A = this chain, B = another copy of it.
Amino acid sequence: MSHPYQAKIYVTLRPSVLDPAGTAVRSGLTHMGYTNVEQVRIGKYIEVSLTAENEDAARQQLDRMCDQLLANPVIENYRFELQALSAIA
């Protein structure tokens, strides 16, 4: 039997990779008067609803989905939090 889960996935650029979009946002904030902002890094936040037999199966599948599609392992890191929806319903 499969159970519903929700995953919150955070995809971030590796620290060694330049982030031109983040630099542009930081520059924009500085021009707006927020001169105390030192660094901005922009990543992705992805919410995935899925069903799986158990939590381990869901985690394994999410790892594969991140490696294959959701993140670019060459330049990005990812991490995720998994929540069983039935437990909070």
Chain A residues engaging chain B, CB cutoff 8 angstroms: 2, 4, 10-12, 22, 25, 28-29, 32, 34, 36-52, 61, 65, 68-70
Report yes or no: B46 in contact with A42, Cβ–Cβ below 8 A: yes
Indicate which residue in B4, B12, B50, B69 contacts A47 across the interface (CB closer than 8 Å).
Answer: B12
- Chain A contact residues: helix, strand, loop or mixed: strand
Given contacts A37-B50, A38-B50, A43-B44, contact A70 B25 (CB under 8 A): yes
Q: Which residue of B lies closest to A28 (CB)?
A: B69
Report yes or no: B50 in contact with A41, Cβ–Cβ below 8 A: no
**Cβ of A60 to closest chain B Cβ, rounded Å:** 12
CA distance A22 to B69 in the complex (A): 12
